[in-house]
Amino acid sequence: MPSTAPRVGFFVTCLVDLMRPSVGFAAVKLLEDAGCRVEVPAEQTCCGQPAYNSGDRADAIALAKQVIAAFEGFDYVVAPSGSCAGMIREHYPRLFAGDAAWEGRARRLAERTYELTAFLVDVLDVEGVAARLAATVTYHDACSGLRELGVKAQPRRLLAAVDGLTVKESAMAETCCGFGGTFCVKYPEISERMVDTKAEDLMATGADMVLAGDLGCLLNIAGRLKRKGSAMQARHVAEVLAGSLDAPAIGEPGRKP
C-alpha cells in the first residue's frame, strides 16, 4: 500500500444506485478494507452508455462530460461494473476524439478508471478477503468487462480466497446473457432465447449461486432463473467478497419481519 491512502471516486452506476444499493456498500467496504478513501460524488447519474449504444451521441457526450467533471479530481475511479467502467475507459476517449477541450480530460479519466475486481487485484494487489460462504458458485463473465477490460482472472482470484467457497465453471461462462442494455427490451424474443441458453448452462453446473460483476446481466439472469423456477441464487460478486449477504439474493423476497 502507498503511504497515503488512494482517493477513490466511486462510480456507483445507475443500476446499483437504483436497484441494489447493497452492492454499492459491499464495493465500498472492499475498497475501504483495501485501504482506500472512498468518496461518492453526488453529481453522478449515468455513464451515458444507453444513449451511446442507441445512437444518441449528443446525450452520450453530455453525460460523459458530467462524469468527467465529477470524477477528474480523484486518484482513481472505480465502478462495480465492467460495462460502465468499459464505457469510461474505452469509449469516452473515442467520443471526444478530435475535441481539443475534452479529449485529454477524457483520456486522463479513462486511464484511472477501473472495474472493481480488476482494481482490487491489478492496482491494489489485494490477495485475500475476509469473507466466508459455504457454497458452490459459478461465475458469469459479463461481456464488456471480459472483452473490453480483460476482467477474467481477477474475480476468480478473489473468490478463491473466500473461505468455504467452491467455484464451478460453466461451459458458456463467456457467452453473452442477452441483456445488452436496451437490446433486451427491443428484441425480447431473441433476448429470451439467449438468456434461456445462459440459464440452462448455469443450471447445468449444479452451483447454488451465480455471481457476476455487472448488475444488468444479473437482473436478466436472475429474472430468467426465477421464471424457470430455478432455486439458483444470483448475486453481485462484491456481495460475496465483502461478506455482505444480508440483503436477499437478487429477485428473492425479503425475510419476513
Partner 1 sequence: MDATSQRFRDNARGALADGRLKESLASFTKTFPEKRQKVIDRLPEFDALRDEGVSIKNHVLANLDFYLERFEAKAAAAGTKIHWCRDAAEARETILAICRSAGARTVTKSKSMIGEEIAINEFLEANGVRPVETDLGEYIIQVRGESPSHILVPAIHLKGPDIAETFREKHTALPAGRALDQPEAILREARTVLRGEFLAADVGLTGANMLVAETGSIVVVTNEGNADLVMSLPKVHVAVASLEKVVPTLEDAATILRLLARSATGQDITAYTTFATGPKRPGDPDGPDEFHIVLMDNGRTAMLGGEFRDMLRCIRCGACLNHCPVYAGIGGHAYGWVYSGPMGSVLTPSLLGAHKADDLPNASTFCGKCEQVCPMRIPLPAMMRHLRERQFVSGGPAAKGRGALKLWAFLARRPALYRRAMALGVGLLAILGRGRGRFRRLPLASAWTGPRDLPAPEGRTFQSLWAERRRGKPASRSRTEGRP
Which residue lies nearer to partner 1 by CB, 92 or 164? 92
The site map against partner 1 for 135-164 (x = CB under 8 A) is --------xx--xx----------------
The site map against partner 1 for 210-249 (x = CB under 8 A) is ---------xx-xxx-xx------------------xxx-
3-state secondary structure (DSSP) of residue 249: coil
Contact 104, 92 (CB under 8 A): no
* 81: its cell numbers: 461494473
DSSP lists the bridge partners of residue 136 as 166
CB of 198 to partner 1, least distance (A): 9
How many whole angstroms separate alpha carbon 133 and alpha carbon 114?
Answer: 26
DSSP state string for 124-174: S-------EEEEEEEEE--HIIIIIH--SHHHHHHHTTSEEEEE---TTTT
Residue 202 sits in the site that holds partner 1 (CB under 8 A): no
The site map against partner 1 for 25-64 (x = CB under 8 A) is x--------------x-xxxxx-x-xxxxxxxx-x--xx-
Residue 251 sits in the site that holds partner 1 (CB under 8 A): yes
Residue 194 sits in the site that holds partner 1 (CB under 8 A): yes
Residue 201 sits in the site that holds partner 1 (CB under 8 A): no
- Locate cell 453446473: which residue? 205
